[in-house]
């Protein structure tokens, strides 16, 4: 599921302990679906302090009320899961955490994952967030299977045509070149290794200047044993984003070359490159049968169909969330001590 309930995405409160009340620790709210629980002012203030520190924003009284409502909703959801025997195992949580980290790269750490989640609005321990997400997914799969099957029918031809008409202005392929690259990465290498890399690339550049037809052979022989690597085919779009990703020197040298040209050695922040331009593809208004820029295996029609299906799923989950929250709040006994929320 691509979207979790807002009260889970923003902050997960229900997994945190409820402190025993004291004479100076007043209740912020009480709630009961299957059992009575108390949210103390001290607990609520701790929640808000964490959010304010994470976002750098001082919360207003209304925002503090929103935080309290989020906590209530989360706690009611956990009581509901407990009563309905909806559970997830530690193994499921760990597997999902590993999957999320792998999406950030092969060397991603727990800290990288937490940073990524915070950037998307999740200010809680990743394991806690994942467990809540899996509980919601299990709820949908076990309790809403018939509804989701009916709701997520494939988009029709008319749906796709309407989506294409609305998106047409943005469905433009920029000027694009298909290139081959011979390279050596030097970032983090010693001075001696960098000097050796420069010698290797200078030697290759000289050989190619004398005989450009040898380029494909150099690409074929690339590898650790050869002392350099190669990318046989890469599409490079003439956009600000591509320029930012590849760097000015690489981008400018590649687009200044003509089809069939081989550049001299290009010095970039990450290493040394030699580029051959294989093909130039001019800017074009994309049709439904054209492939999506950056993904030669996906047509515009397929992309729009996937996008429409994703929107249907999103809308279904939004409604499921809203209905569940409304139902739980209607069934539960909730009392908010407004007089204790001013500080």
Q: Please report which confidence band the pLDDT of residue 19 belongs to, taking 50, 70 and 90 as the band edges.
A: very low
Rounded to an integer, the average pLDDT of 203-217 is 97
What are the pLDDT digits (tens) for 45-72? 988 888 888 778 898 888 899 989 988 9
pLDDT number for residue 10: 42
In DSSP terms, which residues pair with 180 in a beta bridge? 276
pLDDT number for residue 293: 79
| Same-domain status, 17 and 78 | yes
Q: Looking at the domain assignment, is residue 116 inside a domain?
A: yes
**Least confident among 10-14, 63-67, 88-92:** 10-14
Residue 212 is part of a domain; what is its CATH number? 3.10.50.40
| Same-domain status, 204 and 326 | no
The two tokens of residue 323 are 């209905």
Q: Looking at the domain assignment, is residue 315 inside a domain?
A: yes
| Same-domain status, 22 and 98 | yes
The two tokens of residue 194 are 């960098």
SS3 assignment, position 26 = coil
Question: Which of 338, 268, 334, 250 lies closest to 79 in space, CA to CA?
Answer: 334
pLDDT number for residue 171: 93
Q: Looking at the domain assignment, is residue 99 inside a domain?
A: yes
Strand order in the sheet with 333-336: 36-40, 27-32, 333-336
Provide the domain limits for residue 321: 6-150+309-340
| Same-domain status, 141 and 219 | no
Residue 51 is part of a domain; what is its CATH number? 1.10.4030
The answer to whether 200 and 300 are in contact (CB under 8 A) is no
Domain count, the chain: 2
Q: Looking at the domain assignment, is residue 159 inside a domain?
A: no
Percentage of residues of the chain with pLDDT beyond 90: 70
Q: Measured between alpha carbons, how far is 139 from 166 in angstroms, rounded to an integer?
A: 35
Question: Which of 259, 261, 270 lies closest to 215 in space, CA to CA?
Answer: 261
What are the pLDDT digits (tens) for 298-313? 999 999 999 999 999 9
| Same-domain status, 251 and 186 | yes
Q: Measured between alpha carbons, how far is 171 from 194 in angstroms, rounded to an integer?
A: 42
| Same-domain status, 180 and 145 | no
Rounded to an integer, the average pLDDT of 7-17 is 45
φ/ψ bin of 260: left (φ > 0), alpha (ψ from -120 to 50), beta (otherwise)? left
Q: Looking at the domain assignment, is residue 1 inside a domain?
A: no
What are the pLDDT digits (tens) for 161-208? 999 999 999 999 999 999 999 999 999 999 999 999 999 999 999 999
Q: Residues, the chain, total?
A: 343
Q: Please report which confidence band the pLDDT of residue 216 belongs to, taking 50, 70 and 90 as the band edges.
A: very high
| Same-domain status, 332 and 239 | no
Domain end residue (candidates: 245, 265, 282): 282
pLDDT number for residue 300: 96
Is the torsion defined by CA of 79, 81, 87, 90 positive or negative? negative
| Same-domain status, 145 and 188 | no
Give the Å distances, CA to CA, from 223 to 119, 218, 231.
Answer: 37, 10, 11
Q: Please report which confidence band the pLDDT of residue 5 belongs to, taking 50, 70 and 90 as the band edges.
A: very low
| Same-domain status, 121 and 247 | no
Q: Please report which confidence band the pLDDT of residue 2 belongs to, taking 50, 70 and 90 as the band edges.
A: very low
């Amino acid at each position: 599921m691509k979207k979790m309930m807002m009260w889970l995405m923003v902050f997960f409160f229900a997994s945190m302990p409820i402190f025993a009340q004291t004479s100076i620790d007043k209740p912020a709210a009480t709630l009961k679906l299957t059992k009575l629980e108390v949210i103390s002012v001290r607990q609520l203030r701790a929640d808000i302090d964490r959010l304010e520190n994470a976002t750098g924003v001082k919360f207003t009284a209304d925002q503090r009320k929103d935080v309290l409502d989020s906590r209530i909703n989360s706690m009611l959801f956990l009581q509901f899961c407990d009563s309905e025997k909806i559970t997830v195992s530690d193994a499921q949580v760990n597997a999902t955490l590993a999957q999320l980290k792998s999406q950030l790269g092969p060397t991603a750490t727990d800290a990288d994952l937490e940073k990524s989640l915070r950037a998307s609005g999740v200010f809680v321990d990743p394991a806690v967030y994942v467990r809540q997400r899996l509980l919601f997914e299990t709820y949908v799969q076990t309790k809403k299977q018939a509804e989701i099957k009916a709701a997520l029918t494939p988009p029709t031809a008319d749906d796709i045509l309407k989506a294409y008409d609305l998106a047409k202005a943005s469905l433009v392929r920029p000027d694009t070149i298909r290139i081959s690259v011979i390279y050596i990465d030097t970032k983090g290498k010693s001075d001696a290794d960098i000097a050796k890399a420069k010698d290797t690339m200078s030697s290759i550049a000289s050989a190619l200047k004398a005989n450009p037809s040898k380029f494909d052979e150099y690409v074929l022989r690339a590898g650790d044993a050869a002392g350099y690597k190669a990318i046989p085919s890469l599409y490079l779009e003439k956009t600000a984003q591509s320029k930012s990703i590849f760097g000015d020197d690489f981008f400018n040298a590649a687009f200044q070359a003509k089809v069939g040209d081989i550049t001299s050695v290009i010095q970039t922040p990450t290493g040394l490159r030699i580029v051959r331009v294989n093909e130039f593809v001019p800017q074009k208004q994309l049709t439904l049968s054209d492939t999506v820029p950056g993904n030669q295996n996906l047509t515009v029609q397929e992309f729009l169909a996937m996008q429409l299906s994703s929107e249907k799923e999103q809308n279904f989950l939004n409604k499921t969330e809203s209905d569940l929250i409304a139902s739980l709040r209607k069934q539960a006994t909730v009392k908010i001590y407004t007089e204790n929320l001013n500080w």
